[in-house]
Amino acid sequence: MRRHGLIGRMCVLVWAALPAAGLAQSTMHVHHHYHPARPLAANLVIPQSRAFTSSGARTSAVVRIERVTATVSIIEGVATTTLDIDLRNPTNRRLEAEVILPVPDGATVRGFDFQGNGPEPSAQLLPKDEARRIYDSIVAKIRDPALLEFIGYNLIRSSVFPVEAGGTQKLRLTYEHICPADGHRIDYVLPRSESLDYRVPWDIRVVIRSKRTLATVYSPSHPIDVRFVEKGRRGRVTLRKGVDVEPGSFRLSLLRAQDQNVAATLLAYPDPKIGGGYFLLLGGVPNRTPGNAPKIKREVTLVLDRSGSMAGEKLRQVRRAAMQIIAGLEPGESFNIIVYNESVDLFSSRPVVKNESNAIAAGEYLQSILARGGTNIHDALVEALTQKPTRAALPLVLFLTDGRPTIGQTDEKTIREAAEAANHYHKRVFTFGVGLDVNSPLLENLAYQTRATATFVLPTEDVEPKVAGVFRRLTGPIFADPELTVLDADGEPATRRVRDLVPAHLRDVFDGDQFIVVGQYLGRSPITFQLTGNYLGQPRTFRFHFNLDKSTSRNSFVRRLWAQRKIAVLIDAIRSSGADPRVVAAGRADPKVKELIDEVVRLSTEFGILTEYTAFLAREGTNLTRREEVAETAWHNFNTRAQLTRSGLGSVNQEMNSASQKAASHLNHHNRYLDANMNRVQIATVQQVADRAFYRKGNRWVDSRIVDHSEQARPQRVVEFGSEAFMQLAQRLAGENRQGSIMMQGEIMLVVDGQRVLVRNHD
């Protein structure tokens, strides 16, 4: 028979009402004190890490974690987290197990249950001091450093439960805690291992309920999909497809709106080395704008390639996509159509307002287009950019081509300069490269420099959904021409408070959008950001004042996101230099390119953030102390790939990598990228932990801060795993939120207080 109504009973706990005086009290048998007399079960299940045998033996006798489903409800800042844990027993005998679960501060156990016969299920909440004792006990027995990631957390320890021979066991554990808040932002964290070896799939679903409209929901740790309902006061969050085994704690920030206007918040990480730290400015607008609010109208200019290579299905799809866009325009919005081959033809000499007759005429015009001749990108761009836009409209250009420039001006550098000179009206140029015979860096540059995006349609993909998908994201402009400045205490521009902002210029904000700016801040005094622009059709100014007293090392993701974006900007500059034949001809002698490459290598090494150009840094056999060899390899990669490869599959992949990294909003734990054949590659020999990175060299993990120093092989202090000195080091690192630095298997060389410390973790 089955014990308890596992699914039915526990669902009630997830949605339990919360009394005004505090959290609801559970009817479950829950202990709040640890009784050390009870020995550990034969199998320990740590869902955020893995399952262990308490003897430390790594055999097939261990219970296996098949999957974890996390269902989270956040209601006015109170989070209820329910973990459904699927276990499997691969052996032919019954095994006993218990759960050890790290949880955030202030967590309260609300329920624990399992299927099958067994003792009355119970769960104990262990505060940090008691949790440390059980950690010490487990680590001493198991002799596995993986658990060290969670030193410093409170623990939930369950009662023992059975897992039948050759069978499965389902557990359900629920806890609640009050999420930390900072102004209008609420933060939720689900602790999980950062180890690249972690392979347990997690299905994470979050339901948010708020009395106030949500401005945005953001995860710096994982890509998510967000859906808002009930006028933005309720949200549903799910992990994006394909990231269920992505490691790292799941983090979520909810930003509540302020009077239906732009909302912003600051997450900061302190770094005395730079005289301040790193910051992430997160902003958003309510998903639903008031029905009577004025809106910014759009003007869309469709610039369509009709060269001979567009004949057939490609041109038919482009026609359909163009008609979808025109049909999707709101009343009063305007459009034009420009088609080009060796010459340039116009639907109208100036943009026309969308109405029934103009839409019919546009359809007839599109049907009359025939694919013939070459590709005059230069003249088509200049024509689209020099047309005077409709007054008070946001001018959007959707520029499509399936080939490189073959007619008229064909030099990439000249075309870039001509487009920049012609764009007096600051039009946004959204580019579409169809197929592989396109100058992909030209299309990426045209888009990026005009606050737009480049999209590439591979030969196996359809044009129509790609174009229509971009246009859907351009629905409902809310904030156009946003400009961000930093002010001093007198309200004057402060020139020495921030630096290295990425992006340097904000994109327009559309309905439901969020914007993210990362950079470095200097000093510790409060900081004020001013955001100006066209808000819902009117010039508006918003000011956001932030104290830096909540800057914390727990926000290490801020530092890593800044590095991801900064490296991408530097790579983009190197790639752009390939448009100038004089720079390419100068080779390694060009000082600007050398400076850019050196900085990419430095940042990549320090942060452990690698790309297709710098992946060799983590390759077995690469000696990072031989800096001239490293510089030579880096230059070769950038020259042959970034500078010289301007079209084809090996060029398009670079643009896709670049666009993803420049706009990165979440961490890339595995250093994933697309290689020249469009295969997805990931790197397993660099481990990012909190604000540190480690390179695997043989059986040793080496701190990135010393990996390129010849003396890194010589430790100044040796600490043996499991010793008193080892546990003291673990506690010391936990106080800095860096305890994961000693969780890897094998030897670890790290820097502590400027001293090289070798930790011997024996497998």
Cβ 696 vs Cβ 686: under 8 Å: yes
Q: Which residue has the higher pLDDT, 142 or 387?
A: 387
Query: Which band of pLDDT confidence, cut at 50, 70 and 90, is reported for residue 55?
Result: low
Q: Residue 555, Cα to own-chain centre: how many angstroms?
A: 14
* Cα 569 to Cα 176: distance, rounded to the nearest angstrom: 41
Q: What is the mean pLDDT of residues 689-700?
A: 93
* Cα 47 to Cα 54: distance, rounded to the nearest angstrom: 15
Q: Report the pLDDT value the prediction gives residue 34, as an integer from 0 to 100.
A: 41
Query: Which band of pLDDT confidence, cut at 50, 70 and 90, is reported for residue 689?
Result: very high
Sheet holding 181-182, edge to edge: 181-182, 185-190, 250-256, 214-218
* Cα 55 to Cα 60: distance, rounded to the nearest angstrom: 13
Q: What is the pLDDT of residues 447-506, one digit of tens each?
A: 999 999 999 999 999 999 999 999 999 988 999 999 999 998 888 999 899 999 999 999
Are 509 and 576 found together in one domain? no
Q: Report the pLDDT value the prediction gives residue 148, as an integer from 0 to 100.
A: 81
Are 538 and 611 found together in one domain? no
Q: Report the pLDDT value the prediction gives residue 30, as an integer from 0 to 100.
A: 46
Are 566 and 546 found together in one domain? no
Q: Report the pLDDT value the prediction gives residue 306, as an integer from 0 to 100.
A: 97
pLDDT at 92 over 80: yes
Are 484 and 633 found together in one domain? no
CATH of the domain at 51: 2.60.40
* Cα 531 to Cα 483: distance, rounded to the nearest angstrom: 6
Percent of the chain with pLDDT over 70: 92
Q: Report the pLDDT value the prediction gives residue 286, as an integer from 0 to 100.
A: 78
pLDDT at 133 over 90: no
Are 462 and 494 found together in one domain? no
Q: Which residues pair with 516 in a beta bridge?
A: 282
pLDDT at 430 over 60: yes
Q: Is residue 172 part of a domain?
A: yes
Q: Is residue 424 part of a domain?
A: yes
Cβ 565 vs Cβ 518: under 8 Å: yes
Computed on alpha carbons and rounded to an integer, the radius of gyration of the chain in Å comes to 28
Query: Which band of pLDDT confidence, cut at 50, 70 and 90, is reported for residue 706?
Result: very high
SS (H, E, C) 269-330: EEEHHHCEEEEEEEEECCCCCCCCCCCCEEEEEEEEECCHHHCCHHHHHHHHHHHHHHHHCC
Q: Is residue 244 part of a domain?
A: no
Nearest to 179 by CA among 73, 285, 30, 26: 73
Q: Is residue 239 part of a domain?
A: no
Q: At what angle do helices 591-607 and 556-577 cross, to 10 degrees?
A: 150
Q: Report the pLDDT value the prediction gives residue 511, as an integer from 0 to 100.
A: 86
End of a domain among 158, 180, 202? Answer: 180
DSSP-assigned letters across all residues of 617-651: GGSTT--TT-HHHHHHHHHHHIIIIIIT--SSHHH
The dihedral built from the CA positions of residue 288, 291, 297 and 300, taken in this order, carries a sign that is: positive
Residue type at position 262: V
End of a domain among 475, 492, 512? Answer: 475
Query: Cβ-count burial of 64 within 10 angstroms (0-12 exposed, 13-18 middle, 19+ buried)?
Result: middle
Q: Is residue 250 part of a domain?
A: no
Q: What is the mean pLDDT of residues 655-682?
A: 96
CA distances from 579 to 423, 445, 691 (A): 20, 11, 36
Number of alpha carbons in the 13 Å side-chain half-sphere of residue 760 = 7
Cβ 195 vs Cβ 146: under 8 Å: yes
Q: Which residue has the higher pLDDT, 504 or 130?
A: 504
Are 571 and 704 found together in one domain? yes
Q: Report the pLDDT value the prediction gives residue 495, as an integer from 0 to 100.
A: 87
Q: At what angle do helices 412-422 and 440-448 cross, to 10 degrees?
A: 20
Query: Which band of pLDDT confidence, cut at 50, 70 and 90, is reported for residue 26?
Result: very low
pLDDT at 534 over 80: yes
Listed range (81-95, 144-158, 453-467, 592-606) with the worst mean pLDDT: 144-158
Query: Which band of pLDDT confidence, cut at 50, 70 and 90, is reported for residue 292?
Result: low
Are 49 and 147 found together in one domain? yes
Q: What is the mean pLDDT of residues 82-106?
A: 92
Q: Is residue 695 part of a domain?
A: yes
Which residue segment(s) compose the domain that 408 sits in? 297-475
Angle CA(497)–CA(500)–CA(502) in degrees, nearest 5?
A: 120
Listed range (83-92, 127-136, 197-206, 338-347) with the worst mean pLDDT: 127-136
Are 421 and 510 found together in one domain? no
Are 369 and 505 found together in one domain? no
Cβ 227 vs Cβ 235: under 8 Å: yes
Cβ 743 vs Cβ 148: under 8 Å: yes
Query: Which band of pLDDT confidence, cut at 50, 70 and 90, is reported for residue 288?
Result: low
Q: Report the pLDDT value the prediction gives residue 13, as an integer from 0 to 100.
A: 27
Are 332 and 446 found together in one domain? yes
Are 407 and 434 found together in one domain? yes
pLDDT at 4 over 80: no
Q: Residue 84, Cα to own-chain centre: how many angstroms?
A: 26
Q: Is residue 16 part of a domain?
A: yes
Q: What is the mean pLDDT of residues 547-560?
A: 95
Q: Report the pLDDT value the prediction gives residue 302, as an integer from 0 to 100.
A: 98
Are 285 and 341 found together in one domain? no
Token pair belonging to 21: 């005086």
Q: What is the pLDDT of residues 381-427, one digit of tens each?
A: 999 999 999 999 999 999 999 999 999 999 999 999 999 999 999 99
End of a domain among 452, 475, 498? Answer: 475
Percent of the chain with pLDDT over 90: 75
How many domains is the chain built from?
Answer: 4
Q: Which residue has the higher pLDDT, 23 or 426?
A: 426
Mean pLDDT score of the chain, rounded to an integer? 90
Token pair belonging to 618: 């983590």
